[in-house]
A and B are shown apart, each in its own frame.
Chain A
């Protein structure tokens, strides 16, 4: 039997009200994501990919439907509750790294814990361990400006792990990197998957999607294809 689902999406819809007319970005999505799985979400622009990413990341709320993350339906939480969910259950990795310029490597890794009310002095070793894990043991007090793109993205990966999230949510994580560095980052993600972490990557890059064990293709706000490799099972929606 499959592992426990940590994400359940049921009839998820998102409508943008632009005043003169309404845009239906998501028209009713249904899928589950199991614990420890590695899923890529693909689709052309306008397919609802970004909208889904924002909802999965609890940065936005669906217009209707359910989004169960862990045990809670987060679809109808208010801003404060969503902030808490983002800080404790989701590890973000962005295309443009999005580190905070004033802070050094360790401090950047600590940021999600900070908003959980956890002091850096109590978790310093933990943050350092994560920096070592992504190969930045000798860059602990460097500022983002002093790091290469690949190094910055490694910091971002370490940061996404610091709060032991239910899911790592990556948005085009290699979009700004050259192919060598891209491979390095993808290797790290593979490694994390190997450790049993749940990964969701939003990308339009086939090379990135190739690493995933499951690819969900979106088209016009609906799931177009849901391909599980290994099992070689394709479900047309």
Chain B
């Protein structure tokens, strides 16, 4: 094709399409919706996956989290009452030390003990999660201090009554005024203790992105109070008493969680069997723990996302196929309608190739224009969803390229047949066509 004429063919194409604005618009609509859908669906999926990945990454890809889990039937009935139960299960301090000694690649082990408590300051009181842990908790969980400092070694050694509150809890409890150095009362089933607030912490996952995240019982978990593990054991013990309707259940759990940090994500995978071995050694088949491996979850999530994306692409292909058939249908009608014009152009010296190119370009204009509008629409929708509706929506470059590429492909494939049909018309017959 003569290059300089291309611009003119495109101009003529636009003129021809403008001759039937409604028809061209409706034809493009198929393309617009197809491309829009690809971009929007991918962006929504990408956004959701991004959030989930962030949540998992916050746990640390090089970390493993072992949690105490209540076994199915291991209840011991307390004397004197058939409504009182005591259960002993879960992780122990000895587990933590055995892991750090026997499992290769372990850098640090963080024990965590958690119980439901109630915290009060003045007249305000809030249900909270009391967490006893070691001073290096913030580094371990990538949480950051908003004010004051976290618990230190001295407080741990001296079993001091110091506590650190999460930002959300501090806001609820102190409603504006500075909580640092203030006193709070933490109330359990059996005892109440006075603590001094020495810091405000913001946890990475709970604080930033998912303020409404609930735990298994539907309680907001951002209301956390951190105290030294030694203090926890000394003041509250490991006996957790929970009074439900009509019954009293007592649980003895030495550690709720053991977080294990490895040197790298690769070492995690190698060490997992040894980790299980270390835990199972003293348990005689009893399963009272679960292991969460963030890197596994991350990989599973990524695999799931790849599957979702593939599915989306299939759907997108189908919708673009439907759009393409619509375009072919219209172009065939156009060729019939413009038979005389084709005859005239042939008489004026147009070769079959010239006619093919002309109609192909008209189809391409429809597809590209529709594709561009779809891209802009999809992008706009994603922007509104992300910035105004605050739902993570990420437009990926490849989805834009794929949508655009597909619309061009559809244009070429579905435009070729009508264009060839136009080119192969007998000029004499075409000229005679009224």
Contact = CB atoms under 8 A, between A and B. Distances in A.
A56 B431 CA distance: 15
A68 to B, nearest CB: 20
A115 B345 contact: yes
Given A54-B428, A79-B352, A101-B341, A59 B5 contact: no
A80 B343 CA distance: 15
Contacts of B352: 79-80, 83
Nearest to B354: A115
B347 interface: yes
Interface in B328-381: 340-341, 343-354
B12 A103 contact: yes
A44 to B, nearest CB: 19
A98 B15 contact: no
B4 interface: yes
A228 B263 CA distance: 107
B16 interface: yes
A194 interface: no
A87 B348 contact: yes
A119 B348 contact: no
B5 A117 contact: yes
Contact of A112 (B349, B351, B434): B349
Given A59-B428, A114-B8, A119-B4, A83 B349 contact: yes
B8 A120 contact: yes
A153 to B, nearest CB: 14
Nearest to B2: A117
Interface magnitude class on chain B: 20 to 34
A111 interface: yes
Interface in A75-119: 79-80, 83-84, 86-88, 92, 94, 96, 98-103, 111-112, 114-117, 119
A62 interface: no
B349 A115 contact: yes
A221 interface: no
Nearest to A83: B351
The secondary-structure label for the interface of chain B is helix
Interface in A25-59: 54, 57, 59
B20 to A, nearest CB: 11
A163 B15 CA distance: 24
Contact of B348 (A86, A101, A117): A86
A103 B350 CA distance: 16
A159 B427 CA distance: 18
B349 A88 contact: yes
Interface string B15-32: 110110000000000000
A80 B351 contact: yes
A60 interface: yes
Contacts of B4: 117, 119
A117 B341 CA distance: 19
Contacts of B345: 100, 111, 115
A92 B348 contact: yes
A79 B424 CA distance: 10
B431 A111 contact: no
A161 to B, nearest CB: 13
A159 B191 CA distance: 104
Which residue among A100, A112, A116 has the maximum number of chain B CB atoms within 10 Å of its CB?
Answer: A100
Which residue among A59, A96, A103 has the maximum number of chain B CB atoms within 10 Å of its CB?
Answer: A59
A86 B349 CA distance: 5
A159 B2 CA distance: 21
A101 B19 contact: yes
Contacts of A59: 346-347, 427-428, 431
Interface in A117-157: 117, 119-120
Contacts of B16: 102
A93 to B, nearest CB: 10
Contacts of B348: 86-87, 92, 111-112, 114-115, 159
Contacts of A115: 345, 348-351, 354
Nearest to A85: B349
Nearest to B18: A102
A229 to B, nearest CB: 30
Contacts of B15: 102-103
A80 B355 CA distance: 12
Which residue among B12, B343, B347, B427 has the maximum number of chain A CB atoms within 10 Å of its CB?
Answer: B347
Contact of B5 (A86, A96, A103, A114): A114
Given A103-B15, A114-B8, A117-B5, A98 B349 contact: no
A101 B343 CA distance: 13
B349 A116 contact: yes
A59 B345 CA distance: 12
Nearest to B350: A115
Contacts of A117: 2, 4-5
Contacts of A103: 12, 15
A157 to B, nearest CB: 14
A78 to B, nearest CB: 10
A102 B19 contact: yes
Nearest to A84: B349
Contacts of A120: 8
B8 A119 contact: yes
7 contacts: A83-B354, A84-B349, A84-B351, A87-B350, A100-B344, A112-B348, A117-B4
Interface of A: 54, 57, 59-60, 79-80, 83-84, 86-88, 92, 94, 96, 98-103, 111-112, 114-117, 119-120, 159, 163
Given A83-B352, A117-B5, A119-B5, 5 more contacts: A79-B351, A98-B340, A100-B345, A117-B4, A119-B4
Those 10 A-B pairs whose CB atoms lie nearest each other, nearest first: A87-B349, A115-B349, A102-B15, A83-B351, A117-B2, A98-B344, A112-B348, A111-B348, A115-B350, A86-B349
